Amino acid sequence: MNRPEPDSRDLFAIADLAKEFGISTRAIRFYEAKGLLAPERVGATRIFRRRDRARLILILRGKRLGFSLRDISDYLSLYDADRSQQVSLLIGKVDERLASLQAQLSDLQTTISELKEIKKLADERIKQAG
């Protein structure tokens, strides 16, 4: 395979990025298949530039924050088109995500309370029996 020159600071092979970010080359190709990345090609080999690498970083950050690839894709698509619409979309998605996390937190707190109550009653029964 023709790989980008090792010393060329803004050309990356798929394996370079996979290694750098601790993800599989399969995952990177998957993101491309989903339209989140569009690296150049030299024949069949993907050539990633700094811009592609920056997009990958945004993708991974979005994932960490719990957004779907679809959400991330929608957001990235607006980078060139409409920046203010991109910001609006971001605000909406963040609010949505925040609400979802708050709901999950609430559910967890309820579950934790129930478990603590069960434990409390169980502990009391142990004392009576023992």
Partner DNA sequence: ATTCTCACA
Partner DNA sequence: TGTGAGTA
Question: Residue numbers of the site for DNA (CB under 7 A)?
Answer: 1, 3, 13-15, 23-27, 29-30, 34, 44-46, 63, 68-70
Nearest residue to 13 via CA among 28, 31, 33: 28
CA-to-CA distance for 92 and 84, rounded, in angstroms?
Answer: 12
Residue closer to DNA by CB (options 41, 120) is 41
Give the three-state DSSP class for 49: strand
What are the tokens at 69?
Answer: 């690839």
Closest to DNA by CB, 26 vs 116, is 26
* Closest CB 32 distance from DNA, rounded Å: 8
State phi, psi for 64 to the nearest 5 degrees: -55, -35
- One-letter identity of residue 38: A
Could you tell me the smallest distance in angstroms from the CB atom of residue 33 to DNA? 7
66: its two tokens: 């719990």
Shortest CB 117 distance to DNA, Å: 34
Smallest gap, in angstroms, from Cβ of residue 111 to DNA?
24
Nearer to DNA, 26 or 119 (CB): 26
